[in-house]
């Protein structure tokens, strides 16, 4: 039983370590959906960020007006 707990803890911790920040900014602030979604190369839309996010990732949205419909598919924490 203790081995199962250790194994589950390991995989939970490993997924946390792989978590990434995904950045979104308006096009006037350098946002482009062909970018990598990093702080220096942000996406232009929230939907693009959501499409590449994995469990544990964080979406950081810079100030601005985003005219898009965002559909949350699956289990996400907002």
Domain ranges for the chain, please list them: 20-64
pLDDT, tens digit, 9 for 90 and up, residues 24-50 = 999 999 999 999 999 999 999 999 999
Would you say residue 13 has pLDDT above 50?
no
What's the pLDDT score for residue 17? 59
DSSP the chain: -HHHHHHHHHHHHHHHHT--EEEE--GGGT--TTS--SSSS-BS-HHHHHHH--TT-EEEE-SS---------SS---
């Amino acid at each position: 039983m203790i081995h199962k707990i250790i194994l589950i803890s390991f995989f939970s911790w490993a997924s946390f370590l792989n978590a990434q920040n995904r950045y979104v900014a308006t096009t006037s602030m350098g946002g482009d959906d062909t970018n990598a979604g990093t702080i220096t190369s942000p996406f232009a839309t929230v939907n693009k960020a959501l499409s590449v996010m994995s469990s544990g990732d964080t979406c950081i949205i810079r100030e601005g007006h985003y005219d898009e419909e965002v559909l949350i598919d699956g289990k996400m924490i907002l």
